[in-house]
Amino acid sequence: MNHDERESILPQLIWFLVFMISLAPLSAQDSQPYYFYHALPYGSQATYNPLNVIINGGYGILQIPSYDDEYDRKIVSFPYQEWFGDMWETVGHPIRTLNEFGWWRFFTTEVFPVTLNMNNNQWVPNYFLHGIGAGMHFRATEEWFRYHGFSHARLWSIGTMIVYHVLSEVIENRGNEEVSVNHIADLYIFDPLGIILFTHDGVCQFFSEKLNLAEWSMQPAYNFSNGNLENMGQFYVAKYPLSKDKKWSIMAHFGLHGMFGFSYRLSEQHSLSLTGGFLVENLIRAEQEGEGMAQKAVLTWRAGVFYDRNNSLMASLMVATIPEYRIRMNVYPGIFRIGPFSPGLFLSGSAEWIVGINISYIPMGMAWGN
């Protein structure tokens, strides 16, 4: 076996190790608590399922307008095999890639939080989205499979995570043939560590009960007017109570944006939140010395109002400076009812509008508009 062949089996070895480690703390399924998936028939919980995770997470980067190239968001037309091959040149040969990019540069920009400089802080999304976010999704998806009667729920969840994370890296790379190491950091370090971390009940209990971590993602839909995927995006919320009665909480809402604010409990089940912060408007080449490419975020502002019931998002309204998403409104199942159905609805745009409808447990709804 030559050097390239030995390198190419590293992904299989790493994820096999993740699987073996994740089995170690596994207790009897019936005795395991539910931390992140509660099977609520309303809000963002009603739309949560493994395919929804794959679509929102795998295609979430397409929210950034600069990714609207010749393919736009026409996901059925993407050259997946070609893009996977380009991404595999990096991921399949990590030693060669790191030798070209620079090991010290890799660890000080992608792994260790040594600076907040925008040119060198690629570690930020790695910790929050691929570490905490991916770990929570792994556990929530395992709980979904367990709740719906699947045997080997953890194995099903790990399989879902592999599909989701590989798709995400393929879409993010989007045919780039330059040396890039962010896929190595994501797939070899932070995604596996997040999964291992959230196999432990103590970790899950801290994030779910102390920080009230939950997924408040979008309601993706296929646009029959132009063939685009609309309203996709993976987002998380965390709330920390500021008082003993838990009426007021400090709140963070993060994904491809970072917004902070306050949440007020209207009643035992209902809360209203107001946030503001920064949205990723574009990804451009970071100013770094050495071979290969790293990206940095160009930020603009975004503000949002959120209404939730038992930490399941019921409705949201976000405004930003990006014309495509100047206004983005989502109403989740449980607000409106049409006969026996309670659909989710969304509206986004500014001069041109896109509207859509979603049904609970169907991972992709229908949209219309330009």
- Residue range 36-80, pLDDT digits in tens: 999 999 999 999 999 999 999 999 999 998 776 667 899 999 999
Cα–Cα nearest to 160, from 141, 140, 133, 182: 141
CB 149 within 8 A of CB 63: no
- Letter string b/e over residues 62-100, b meaning 16 or more CB atoms within 10 A of that residue's CB: bbbeebeeebebebeebeeeebeebbbbbbbbbeebbee
Least confident of 123-132, 305-314, 354-363: 354-363
Give the mean model confidence (pLDDT) for residues 259-265.
98
List the domain boundaries for the chain.
3-31+40-369
Residue 12 has a CB neighbour count (10 Å cut-off) of 9
Mean pLDDT of the chain: 90
Q: Which of 171, 27, 341, 370 is nearest to 357 (CA)?
A: 341
Question: Taken in order 280, 281, 286, 292, is the CA torsion positive or negative?
Answer: positive
Torsion, Cα 270 271 272 274, to 10 degrees, reads -160
Q: Is the pLDDT of residue 26 over 60?
A: no
Confidence of residue 20 (pLDDT cuts 50, 70, 90): low
Kindly tell me the sign of the dihedral angle through the C-alpha atoms of 170, 118, 321, 330: positive
In DSSP terms, 229 is beta-bridged to 222
Q: What is the rounded distance in angstroms from the CA atom of residue 140 to the CA atom of residue 48? A: 9
Amino acid at 234: Q
